[in-house]
Structure 1
C-alpha cells in the first residue's frame, strides 16, 4: 500500500529556498566548475544507493541529466546556459540541508524540492538536451557510432522538422486561410 502526500510551498517557503540557494552560490564561489559538478554527481550517486520516494527519484534523474548536459561536449552548451546550470548545481554540493540526507525516506526531500525549483527555470534547457540525446542516438544507430552529431546538426534537423510540420499543417488548413481566397 502506498500513500500520497501533497503540500504547497508558500511565497515565504519559496523565499527560504531562494535564500538557501543564494547562500550555496556564495559559498561555492571559490570552487571550480569541475568541483561543483563532482559534488552534485556525488549527491546523485548517494541518492541512487538509497531507497528514495519516486518524487525524489524522478528529480534526481533530472539533476543527473543537467549534469550530463553541462559535461556533454557534443551538446556545445552556450556559456550563459552553462553558468546558469552551474549556479543551480552549487546548492547540491552544500553540506547543510534543511533535512539531513541521512534521515531515512525524508533525507532527500529538500534536495528534490530544490531540484524541482531549479527545473522550473531550466525545464526548456533540459527538454532540448533530452531531445538532442534522442536525436544523437538515432543518428548514431542510422549512420554508425562515429557519426558527427552536435548541437548544430540537431538544430538543423529540428528546424527542418518544424518547417515540414508547418507545411503539412498549412496545406491541411489551406481552405480556411485568408491568402488562399485572395490568390
Structure 2
C-alpha cells in the first residue's frame, strides 16, 4: 500500500538549495554549453529509465521542454535567454547529488526540488515556448509542412491577437473610449 508524504520547504531550506545551485553554476562555467546540454539530457534519459514518483515525472517533463527550447532552431532563442537556461541546467552536470539517485522513492527528491526552482525562475520562458509549440502545430495542421513557423511569426500572431482583443473590447463596451466622451 503506497504512502503519501507531503513536506514544505522553508525559506531557509530553499536558500540552501539555491546556494547549491549557485555552486553548481560556478562549477559548470568550466563546461562548454554543448556539454551542459549533453549532461542534462543524460540525466533526463537516466530519470526516464528509473521508477520515478509522479512528482518527479511531472517536473522532468518541464525540464525536457526547457532543453527542447534551447535546441529548437525555429524558436530562435536570444543568446541571453540561452545562457540563462544553460546556467540553470548546471545542477544536472554534477555527478554527485545531495541525495544519491539510487535510493528508491527518495533518490530524485533533490533533483525534483532543483527542477522546480528552475521552472519557477524560467516559467515565463517555458510558457512562451509551449505557446509557440502549440502555434506551430496549429499552423502546420492548417497550412501543411510549408507553414512558416518561427519565433517571429509567432510573435506577429500574438501581436495580431492582442490588437484584435483590444478592438473587440472597445467595440463591446469593455472600456470607456476617450473619443466617445468628447463627441
TM-score interval, smaller chain: over 0.9
Normalising by structure 1, what TM-score?
A: 0.93
* Corresponding residue number in structure 1 for 2:135: 135
Q: Secondary structure at the match of 2:16?
A: helix
1:78 aligns with 2:78: yes
Shift of 1:3: 4.2
* Corresponding residue number in structure 2 for 1:152: 152
Deviations 1:90-136 (A, max 9, x none): 11121121111111111111101111111111000000000001111
1:91 aligns with 2:91: yes
* Corresponding residue number in structure 1 for 2:122: 122
Residue 178 to residue 170, structure 1, CA distance change in 2 (3 Å): closer
* Corresponding residue number in structure 1 for 2:47: 47
Deviations 1:25-60 (A, max 9, x none): 121112111110011111111111122111101100
The unaligned stretches of length 5 or more in structure 2 are none
Normalising by structure 2, what TM-score?
A: 0.93
Deviations 1:59-79 (A, max 9, x none): 000000000001111101011
The unaligned stretches of length 5 or more in structure 1 are none
Q: CA RMSD in A?
A: 1.5
Distance in 1 separating the partners of 2:133 and 2:177: 40
* Corresponding residue number in structure 2 for 1:163: 163
Q: How many residues align?
A: 182
Shift of 1:182: 3.0
